Amino acid sequence: MKTKIKALCLLVCAACMLVLIPVFLSKDNPIEVSMPVLTEQQAAAQEQAQQKAAQASAHKAKVRRILRCETDDDCIIVDKDPCGCLVGPEGVTAINASYTLEFNKMQSGVLAKACPDSAPSQEKECSPSAVAVCRENVCHIDY
């Protein structure tokens, strides 16, 4: 009796599988996959954009490291423009003194230019009272 029940169960399972197989294999609603087609120029442009983004990210990380500090003594005021305070407060910045050489290497790509014949700016960051300070672990100019 047990073997007959077992055989009947197997027969029912086999019949169910035969009924369900077409449902799983039907192609009524195929999965649609669309892939964009790129030309070699588009692929090269995309690769260049990714390289530029990676370089920009590396540059930002380097700048963050140069600006990082722990105490006011870590920070100094440096010229970020070849003309310094002759172009106004935007010509200077505060960095970590330990990274002066690295900052100078980054600035070596800045083109030399003719500086104005005026006196250096005495406002804000260029005033005689301006000092480099460490605020929230970042060097700033306080005036």
The answer to whether residue 22 sits within a structural domain is: no
Identify the pLDDT of residue 38.
80
Q: Is residue 141 part of a domain?
A: yes
Residues 6+ apart with CB under 8 A from 59: 106
Return the residue matching tokens 């380097």: 62
Count of structural domains, the chain: 1
Query: What percent of the chain shows pLDDT beyond 70?
Result: 91
Is the residue at 13 inside a domain? Answer: no
Determine, yes or no, domain membership for 127. yes
CB 102, CB 91: distance < 8 Å: no
Q: What is the pLDDT of residues 82-108, one digit of tens each?
A: 888 888 788 888 999 999 888 888 877
Q: Check residue 68 and report its DSSP letter.
A: B
Q: Which residue range forms the structural domain that includes residue 131?
A: 69-143
Residue 32 belongs to some domain of the structure: no
Task: Name every residue whose Cβ is closer than 8 Å to that of residue 134 and which is 6 or more positions away in sequence.
Answer: 69, 70, 71, 72, 74, 75, 140
What average pLDDT does this structure show over 45-70? 89
Is 35 a member of any domain? no
Whether residue 42 lies inside any domain: the answer is: no
Spatial distance between the Cα atoms of 132 and 140, rounded to a whole number of angstroms: 6
Identify the pLDDT of residue 43. 86
